[in-house]
Structure 1
Amino acid sequence: MALTALTALVLAGCGAGGDGSGGGGSAGATGTDAPIPAVAEDDRLAALVPDEVKRDGTWVVGTDPTYPPNEFTAPDGTTIIGMDVDLGTAVAQKLGLTARFEQSQFSGIIPGITGGRYEAGISSFTVNPERTQVLDMVSYFSAGTSLATRKGNPDGIDPNDLCGKAIGVQQGTVQVEDVQARNKKCTDEGKPAIQVTELQAQTDVTLALNSNRIVAMLADSPVAAYAQTTTNGAVEVVGQPYDTAPYGIALKKNDGQYAQAVQGAVQSLIDDGTYKRILDKWNVGNGAIPTSSVNGG
């Protein structure tokens, strides 16, 4: 289904689109099963949560669990785990709620928030101006885009020149916008077009790389690094991350002091060390931020 320009920009998520400073969110391990200790409720912050959110005591969160290590399914095929899940669980506890993560296609999360199905979206959403026009977003992490190839980069892929190459990206991410912009530059300069493969899930993109259907993929830096580790090096990150930007918890726009409650919860977790324990658990500590904000403020 075709998307309007604004909707397409809003849905472009799982990815960075920021300041070009590089770095951010390198991951290097599969994570552990170790639970994060429960955190105590903050009565002051809990009082800021809208009545319709806290009435049943459950925080309903939409997520697309195909983006390890941030959100993905456990070996049982049902349980949703990951860095975002642990953080969302702790935020809910800080607000006196119990988080319930519901699986969704990535493109369905934002409409689910605006339509009232979800009370939040936590799924590696990049904070950008287009998205904050229709949502409130609470920052909690910093990630960039990375290029990954098969082990040893056998096709000699230059991260700065993808013209004529078969490149994979996940649908709806800012990596799609990135590769489209790169492709236009290629064709404008009379070079071969990039052969872009867009797949619904990041796990499908990684599989396409491993099965030689593409020669490289673009993905968020922690996701690319995680793929390198979990494939025992069959996937290799080439070059440095670029276009770093914050991830944000997506919330209904202008819903009382809801965004301030969630921002306060994230900041409290940063201050008390819970945040660091969660990031360290998933080996994504390089993406830590010192201060959480609402809508990039």
Structure 2
Amino acid sequence: MKGFHVERIRLSRLVAAFPVVAVLLLTSCTSSAEIEQEAQSSDAPSSALVVDTSPEQADRVRTDEDPDAAALVPADVAEDGVLRVGVNGAGDPPLGFLADDNSTVVGSEVDIAQLVADGLGLELEVVNTTWEAWPLGVQSGDLEAVFSNVGVNAERLQLFDFATYRQGIMAFVAAPDSGLDITDAQAISGLSVGVGSGTNQERILLDWNATLEAEGEAPATLEYYANAADALLAIQSGRLDTYLGPNPNAVYQASKGTVEVVGTVNAGWPNTTYVAATTLKGNGLAEAVQAALQHAFDDGSYQQTLDRWGLSDEAVDAPELNPAVAS
């Protein structure tokens, strides 16, 4: 993939059919009654991405144990028979979000973690963590792995091991009538741009601002948000021009008609990077995770999981251990 490309997301390729209600705006305080009420609203767009919001996740794709992968699990992880993973449950579908009971973390990231746990012959334990807290969680041993849209970069490779499972694509969203077409750094000059702190997308925007300032142009004003929902409200109220966040969340929100995707960029800009399972550096667990992912790739459960959440466009050919990245 090239370092940066722009395309209008073709929603028809990403909408998957599931026997559950459509979620029109899901946050940690949304009840199933509110979801159903919005789904029945005459103003609800018919193209909204439909996702499973139930705690039970009866349609979750599963796989079987791979003895070769299970044999790679470090003894201290295998001892209790549990794989304890962190997933950020404060986001929007389809990555990680709270189910209708407002406590169970569900989504595509949980499903990928489930495939890995299955392949390793371990029980999956999901810990709802925040983006800011996951690094310390892994380093302290409270989390054995993280599946939370973590992109591989040179700085993180110094502290963590990675096993890739999706392309790392970020998307700019804006109001449907914004007229924005973000193709390069010049396109954000003078704009207010929302972003999460400590993310790859923040690094991209800081680099773009440095380029603008070096060329004597006005940089973008970066506004920091802990979650995409707050940024989207700021866009809808006119307080924010655009927000740069994970492409899966952007496609979901755009499918509802409240915002539109106005540009995409690889998380490793100007290079290519990937989303990966994250483990502590050197403890051997990443090798086991990669083997379990390969098992899921081989038996088709990986592709079925991406299809379930409308993420087939972000599939990779094979999981890679600690891919090379530009420093």
Same fold (TM over 0.5): yes
Q: Is contact 2:70-2:288 (8 Å) kept? A: yes
1:107 and 1:240 mapped to 2: Cα distance?
A: 24
**How far has the Cα of 1:159 moved from its partner?**
4.0
Q: Give ranges in structure 2 of 5+ residues lacking alignment.
A: 16-48
Q: Deviations over 1:225-250 (max 9, x none)?
A: 12212xx2111001344444210100
Q: 1:224 to 1:87 in 2, by over 3 A?
A: same
Q: Give ranges in structure 1 of 5+ residues lacking alignment.
A: 1-17
1:194 and 1:237 mapped to 2: Cα distance?
A: 18
Q: Deviations over 1:59-114 (max 9, x none)?
A: 11112223332111123211111111101011101111111111122121111111
Residue 51 in 1 paired to residue 79 in 2? no
Q: 1:182 to 1:21 in 2, by over 3 A?
A: closer
Please point out which of 300, 303, 323 is paired with 1:273: 300
Residue 78 in 1 paired to residue 103 in 2? yes
Q: 1:101 to 1:124 in 2, by over 3 A?
A: same
The corresponding residue for 2:281 is 253
Residue 131 in 1 paired to residue 156 in 2? yes
Q: Is contact 1:59-1:100 (8 Å) kept? A: yes
Aligned partner letter, 1:179: L
**How far has the Cα of 1:223 moved from its partner?**
2.0
The corresponding residue for 1:282 is 309
Q: Is contact 2:197-2:226 (8 Å) kept? A: yes
**How far has the Cα of 1:181 moved from its partner?**
1.7
2:6 and 2:177 mapped to 1: Cα distance?
A: 21
Equivalent residue of 2:132, what SS? Answer: helix
Q: Deviations over 1:241-296 (max 9, x none)?
A: 4444210100111113x222110100110111100110001101001011111101
TM-score (ref. length: structure 2): 0.78
Aligned partner letter, 1:245: T
1:173 and 1:293 mapped to 2: Cα distance?
A: 21
1:96 and 1:173 mapped to 2: Cα distance?
A: 32
The corresponding residue for 2:240 is 214
* Correspondences of 1:18-29 after superposition (within 5 Å): 20=3, 22=5, 28=15, 29=49
RMSD (CA atoms): 2.1
The corresponding residue for 2:223 is 197
Q: Is contact 1:166-1:195 (8 Å) kept? A: yes
Percentage of matched positions with identical amino acids:
29
Residue 39 in 1 paired to residue 63 in 2? yes
1:37 and 1:141 mapped to 2: Cα distance?
A: 17
Q: Deviations over 1:171-197 (max 9, x none)?
A: 221111111122222233332231210
Residue 182 in 1 paired to residue 208 in 2? yes
With CA pairs under 8 Å and 6+ residues apart, which has the higher RCO, 1 or 2? Answer: 1
The corresponding residue for 1:65 is 89
* Correspondences of 1:154-193 after superposition (within 5 Å): 154=179, 156=180, 158-160=182-184, 161-193=187-219
